[in-house]
Amino acid sequence: MIAMGKRHLAVCVLLLFAASARAADAPFVVTLPTVVDTMLKMGGVTAGDYVIDLGSGDGRIVIAAARQHGARGYGVELDPNLVNTARREAQRQGVADRVTFEAENLFNIDISKASVITMYIGESVNLRLRPALLKLKPGTRIVSHDFDLGNWPPDEKVTIPVPGKPYGPPRSDIMLWVVPADASGRWRWSMGEGTAPLEAQLEQTFQMLAGAVHAAGRGVPVQDARVRGEQVSFSVMLERGGRALRHEFKGRLSGDTIEGEVRAEGLQAPWRARRSARGKWHTDLAPAKFETPR
Ligand SMILES: C[S@@+](CC[C@H](N)C(=O)[O-])C[C@H]1O[C@@H](n2cnc3c(N)ncnc32)[C@H](O)[C@@H]1O
């Protein structure tokens, strides 16, 4: 009777433990070194960066960022045994002063200090993370191995052969997103003394801009319009000397000002635009649905 009771108690304790332990959102599968190198290169990792690997496994991405690029880093990993392995490996490779590893759920940590986020974790986790990723400081780089961010298209993507890859076909997709600033809204600028001011009305979906520049009462759609971190760029056909010329605008957004330059055939001039009203920035999960304003 007593023996039965003890067994029953043991089962209850085990069940309680299982319920309180957080199940991993992805299994432990390593990223092979060629992929790690490509991820860090695409992320433009330098000694000034703070790299956070979400689901850091044996710590290899954070350790490589510190060892090869001099970066500081932090790895968060549910499995405490893997965290211990990562700490030991950081010691062995002489980077323990620049990297830390923590046994924690990646959804519970503060990622706001990261200048680079790396992940090899899975599509549904990526989608759950997306709202937090979009709130990161503009210019923060996000590099993901194999899994995308749904309908937020990457700024860059490469596919490389990976012989001996432990999971899936022997190749890897590596994708980079640069967190965009919000450049939506009504912008105004002048192309020089004596010329009528120009006004652009822009809507943004993730890092893509759409809209029109209004000149002399006519709306001309912007082309190749995007935001990469704080860099805004678009081109638009504008009249000059009786001809429609492609004008390329590029500048850095800070608050409600963009400062940069405009180039057109035979012209290169400073460009300074001011925002008078914010517009729409679509960052929801549903496929982008917006119309190009006229
Ligand atoms: C595919 S492995 C990637 C390991 C490492 N980043 C790499 O690329 O070599 C994913 C890791 O995420 C961990 N993981 C899964 N869900 C997690 C969560 N919610 N919080 C923290 N780590 C998690 C797993 O234990 C596993 O080690």
Nearest CA to ligand 1 atom 2: 28
In the three-class reduction of DSSP (H, G, I as helix; E, B as strand; rest coil), residue 185 is classed as: strand
Model pLDDT, residue 12: 37
For domain 185-282, is the CATH number 2.40.128.20? yes
User: Which of 54, 78, 119 should be mutated for ligand 1, with most atoms under 8 A from CB?
Assistant: 78
**pTM for the full model?**
0.90
Model pLDDT, residue 286: 57
CB 200 within 8 A of CB 277: no
Cα 66 to Cα 255: distance, rounded to the nearest angstrom: 33
Model pLDDT, residue 15: 40
User: Does the beta carbon of 31 sit less than 6 angstroms from any atom of ligand 1?
Assistant: yes
Model pLDDT, residue 293: 39
Short-list 170, 132, 130, CA closest to 153: 130
Same fold, 24-178 and 185-282: no
For domain 24-178, is the CATH number 1.10.1740.10? no
Model pLDDT, residue 22: 65
Model pLDDT, residue 239: 87
Short-list 258, 41, 227, 229, CA closest to 136: 229
pLDDT in tens, 179-198: 999 999 999 999 887 788 99
Distances (CA, A) of 150 to 21, 86, 130: 29, 30, 9
CA of 125 to the centre of ligand 1 (A): 10
Domains in the chain: boundaries: 24-178, 185-282
Model pLDDT, residue 285: 59
Cα 285 to Cα 151: distance, rounded to the nearest angstrom: 7
Dihedral class, residue 44 (left if φ above 0, else alpha if ψ from -120 to 50, else beta):
left
What does DSSP assign to residue 167?
Answer: S
User: Does the beta carbon of 257 sit less than 6 angstroms from any atom of ligand 1?
Assistant: no
Which residues of the chain fall short of a pLDDT of 70? Answer: 1-22, 285-294
CA of 85 to the centre of ligand 1 (A): 13
Cα 5 to Cα 9: distance, rounded to the nearest angstrom: 6
